[in-house]
Amino acid sequence: MNPDFVLWLAAILFGIGAFGLITRRNALVAFMCVELMLNAANLVLVTMSEVHGGLDGQVAALFVMVVAAAEVVVGLSIIVMVYRSRRSVSVDTASLLKR
């Protein structure tokens, strides 16, 4: 199996995620972009597991999903906390630490 097509697809997804995180101002959207990047990595893991034979990559993808879920728990709690204290989740208003 030739993995090139899937690798390019994963790279494009990863790029969209990275670009989105840098440009979007909403913390929730930025966070969704991170999830997109993690899933792009999952795509590579599963594809390469097929190429090499063996289950390592597929098992790794499961682990990554669990980690992503844990990250959502922590991330959303932080975002909700910030939203409650300033009624906005824009990362631009979070600039008190800049001088």
DSSP 37: H
| Residue from 7, 9, 26, 88 in contact with other proteins (CB under 8 A) | 7
Query: Dihedral of the CA atoms 62, 68, 74, 78 (nearest 10)?
Result: -170
Site string for other proteins, 13-52 (x = CB under 8 A): -x--xx--x-----x--xx--x--xx-xxx-xx-xx--xx
- By CB under 8 A, tell whether 57 contacts other proteins: yes
* Residues 17 and 36: beta-carbon distance below 8 Å: yes
DSSP 50-76: HHH-SSHHHHHHHHHHHHHHHHHHHHH
List interacting residues with other proteins (CB under 8 A): 3, 7, 10, 14, 17-18, 21, 27, 30-31, 34, 37-38, 40-42, 44-45, 47-48, 51-52, 54, 56-57, 60, 63-64, 67, 70-71, 74-75, 77-79, 81-82, 84-86, 91, 94-98
